[in-house]
Structure 1
Amino acid sequence: MKTIKNIAAVLVLSTVSFTSFAQSVTATGTTLDSAEAKIAAQAQQAGASYKITEANTNNVVHMTAELIK
């Protein structure tokens, strides 16, 4: 049974295109808007959309996003 599950997992993973995985990007700024603008510029340069996955505000804003093609 375990072998069948492993074979099924390998078949599913082998059909997934490795180029479709999201790329992670980061940016910093003084406001949330400035950090998001930097993320948006990186996404536009890559020809992709983006999804913000993390934002942290201490003295500056640090934001992480995934680029989705």
Structure 2
Amino acid sequence: MRFAFIGKHRQVWPVSWLCAVLGVSRSGFHTWLNRPVSARMAHDEKIGRVTRKKLQGQRPHLWRPPDLA
């Protein structure tokens, strides 16, 4: 979770500062950043895409795009 936050905000604040504030090492962040996607994560992303695609046409009052949730 911390590395994801740093990855999302590294264009706003320096990575070294974010790592210091969140108590993680810069080398750990860069290792995480360059790590290939795991099979589990790829599968979860695929299931999420399929689910969102199926739900978009049904019950629009229940469906919210990820950026509005």
On whether the aligned pair clears a TM of 0.5, the verdict is no
- Which structure's CA Rg is the greater one? 1
**Alignment TM-score, normalising by the size of structure 1:** 0.23
**Alignment TM-score, normalising by the size of structure 2:** 0.23
Point out the structure with the larger strand share.
1
Point out the structure with the larger helix share.
2
